[in-house]
Amino acid sequence: MTELTPKDMERARFAFDIYDFEGKARMDLFYLGDVLRGLNLNPTLKMIEKLGGTKKKGEKFLKLEEFYPIYRDVKNSKDTGSFEDFIECLKLYDKLENGTMMLGELEHILLSLGEKLEREEVDILIKECCDPEDDDGFIPYEPFLRRVCAGPHPEMYEDW
């Protein structure tokens, strides 16, 4: 297992400090998923729960020294899908075998499978990441996945 570099520790401290709302050198575990996602990681809800994340504010707190091993474990985790994994999944919906799928099927996947998204989240994702659908209701799925996997602002993470 790879240990954290000094730069990783600096990033972790910076993110942790943002969520130390009271200035008591502790973070509410309600925000564990947010802080990890702020560090450009993609933990699942199941993983956050396993790591001690809470569903209510104020239930449990964490000190920075306790956060470093969590950050390391999530950073080293292989439990997140890759671009190639997502391409293989969407190929199952590529009926014409031409790199396209029905926009309605993509919406269904996002609303119904895995960690389900809310309708508003799906609408934003489609608006910001999908190419326009053709006359038959198909969209190319590879550009969509590239945009989603790049995150909201990939230029922010160039030196990360």
The pair phi, psi for residue 153, each rounded to 5°, is -145, 80
Q: What is the pLDDT at residue 160?
A: 43
Element (H, E) at 157: none
Interval 10-35: pLDDT, tens: 999 999 999 999 999 999 999 999 99
Q: What is the 3-state secondary structure (H, E, C) of 52-118?
A: CCCCCCCCCEEEHHHHHHHHHHHHHCCCCCCHHHHHHHHHCCCCCCCCEEEHHHHHHHHHHCCCCCC
